[in-house]
A and B are shown apart, each in its own frame.
With several copies, the nearest count.
Chain A
Amino acid sequence: MLDKNGIAQRIAQELEDGYYVNLGIGIPTLVANYIPQGVDVEFQSENGILGMGPFPLEGDEDADLINAGKQTITAMLGAVYFDSATSFAMIRGQHVQLTVLGAMEVSQNGDIANWKIPGRMVKGMGGAMDLVASAENIIVAMMHTNKRGESKLLADCSLPLTGVGCVKKVVTNLATIEITDGAFHLLERAPGVTVDEIVAATAGKLVVPDEVPEMKL
Chain B
Amino acid sequence: MALNKVVANVEEACAGIQSGMTLMLGGFGLCGIPENSIAQLVKMGVNNLTCISNNAGVDDFGLGLLLQGRQIKKMISSYVGENDEFERQMLSGELEVDLIPQGSLAERCRAGGAGIPAFFTPAGYGTEVGEGKEVREFNGKPHILETALTADYAIVKAWKGDTAGNLIFKATARNFNPMMAMAGKITIAEVEELVPVGELDPNQIHTPGIFVQRIFQGERYEKRIEQRTVRPRA
Touch A–B, Cβ below 8 Å: yes
A102 contacts partner chain B, Cβ-Cβ < 8 Å = no
Of A62, A70, A164, the residue contacting B171 (CB under 8 A) is A62
Known: A42-B2, A93-B113. A55 touches B230 (CB 8 A): yes
CB <8 Å contact, B171 and A88: no
Contact B2 A134 (CB under 8 A): no
A27 CA to B148 CA, complexed, in Å: 35
Q: Does B15 contact A (CB under 8 A)?
A: no
CA distance A162 to B211 in the complex (A): 27
Q: Check if A28 is an interface residue, CB within 8 A of chain B.
A: no
Bound-complex Cα distance A42 to B211 (A) = 13
Is the CB of A138 closer than 8 A to any CB of chain B? no
Which chain B residue shows the least CB distance to A86?
A: B208
CA–CA, A58 and B82, complex, Å: 25
Contact call A92/B115, Cβ cutoff below 8 A:
yes
- Which of A67, A76, A90 has a CB less than 8 Å from the CB of B208? A90
Considering the complex, give the chain A residue whose CB is closest to the CB of B128: A160
Q: Per-residue 0/1 for B166-198: is the Cβ within 8 Å of any A Cβ (1 yes, 0 no)?
A: 100111111111110010000000000000011
Chain A min CB distance to B213 (Å): 9
Contact indicator A125/B176 (Cβ below 8 Å): no
| Known contacts A47-B28, A122-B99, A129-B127; A93/B178 CB under 8 A | no
1/0 per position for A63-76, CB-CB distance to B under 8 A?
11111011111011
Give the residue name and chain of the A residue nearest to B183 (CB): A93
- Tell me, rounded to whole Å, the shortest Cβ–Cβ distance linking B66 to chain A: 18
Q: Which residues of B contact A165 (CB under 8 A)?
A: 126
**Which of A78, A125, A162 sits near B78, CB closer than 8 Å?**
A125
Given contacts A80-B202, A134-B123, contact A72 B228 (CB under 8 A): yes
Query: Are B164 and A78 touching (Cβ within 8 A)?
Result: yes
Q: A80-B202, A86-B208, A125-B78 are in contact. Are A61 and B126 (CB under 8 A)?
A: no
A134 close to B115 (CB less than 8 A): yes
Q: Does the CB pair A121–B81 fall under 8 Å? A: yes
**Which of A41, A60, A85, A116 meets B178, CB within 8 Å?**
A85
Kindly state whether residue A149 has any CB partner on chain B within 8 Å: no
Q: Helix, strand, loop or mixed for chain B's interface?
A: loop
Within 8 A of A (CB), among B93-143: 97, 99, 101-107, 109-110, 112-116, 121-129
Contacts of B179 in A (CB 8 A): 83-85
Q: Contacts A40-B3, A61-B228, A66-B29: A90 and B210 contacting too (C-beta < 8 A)?
A: yes
- Does B125 lie within 8 Å of A164, measured CB to CB? yes
Overall SS of chain A's interface? loop
Q: B126 to A40, Cβ gap below 8 A?
A: no
Give the residues in chain B near A63, CB-CB below 8 Å: 30-31, 173, 223-225
Q: Which chain A residue lies CB-closest to B2?
A: A78
A133 to B97 alpha-carbon distance, docked (Å): 23
Q: Are B197 and A78 in contact (CB under 8 A)?
A: yes
Q: Within A103-130, which residues are at the interface with B (CB < 8 Å)?
A: 111, 116, 121-130
- Report if B226 contacts A (CB, 8 A): yes
A200 at the interface (CB under 8 A from B): no
Interface centre among A57, A60, A130, A160 (most CB of B within 10 A): A130
In angstroms, how far is the closest chain A Cβ from the Cβ of B232?
6
Give the one of B110, B127, B159, B163 with max A CB within 10 A.
Answer: B127
- Apart from A63-B31, A79-B202, what 18 extra A-B contacts exist at CB < 8 Å? A44-B210, A63-B223, A66-B225, A70-B226, A71-B227, A72-B230, A76-B1, A77-B1, A78-B164, A80-B166, A80-B205, A84-B179, A88-B102, A95-B182, A123-B81, A129-B129, A133-B123, A163-B126
Measured CB to CB, the residues of A under 8 A from B are 18, 20, 40-42, 44-51, 54-67, 69-73, 75-96, 111, 116, 121-130, 133-134, 160-165
